[in-house]
Amino acid sequence: MSLWIFAYGSLMTKPTFDYVEKAPATLLGHSRCFCIVSHVWRGTPEQPGLVVGLVPGGTCEGFAFRIAPENEDEALSATDRVELIRDVYHRKSVSLVLTDGRNVEAQAYLTNLDSSEFREYSSEEKARMISTAMGRNGSSAQYLADLRERLSELSILDDEVETLYRLVFKR
């Protein structure tokens, strides 16, 4: 059985691993949400930013990456080092549907709803945070724009991403 990793945010554009196949995929039962406060990578403690997480309910479209068997341990280890540095996410096996109709089991990084970095805000508050935050990896606004671009390449229209993009970039 092959290892697959599901990407729905920054892993879509900057995977932390080598892969042998990349396919558009849908995860049922979870949705993408700007709900993770970023104090380092896309913000600071004084001016926190927001990044996406996977929360229960709905569906989420993204990429599934298939890892070569000889690289599986290294791929999981590298991704865990990025995604599991705090209590923000937990890795879980999920079922995906690829666009070619295949069903695969994949590892996904789901939001820990008990994390102190998980927050629910109004769209206006999210947009304010995203438009003003800058961290080590750049601005939250650039993160939003990059995510929107990746999604558009897949012809995915994510309502929250579009709403926040219009609010942040006044388009």
Cβ neighbours, 10 Å, residue 115 = 17
Write the CATH number for 101: 3.10.490.10
- The pLDDT value recorded for residue 153 is 87
> What are the tens digits of pLDDT across the range 142-164?
999 999 999 998 899 999 999 99
- The pLDDT value recorded for residue 14 is 85
- The pLDDT value recorded for residue 86 is 84
Those residues with Cβ within 8 angstroms of residue 12's Cβ, 6 or more apart along the chain or in another chain:
62, 63, 147, 150
Name which residue leads in pLDDT, 13 or 99: 99
> What are the tens digits of pLDDT across the range 25-83?
999 999 999 999 999 989 999 999 999 999 999 999 999 999 999 999 999 999 999 89
Sign for the pseudo-dihedral over CA of 100, 101, 107, 111: positive
- The pLDDT value recorded for residue 171 is 66
The total number of structural domains in the chain stands at 1
* Cα first-last separation, the chain: 45
Q: Which domain holds residue 137?
A: 3-169
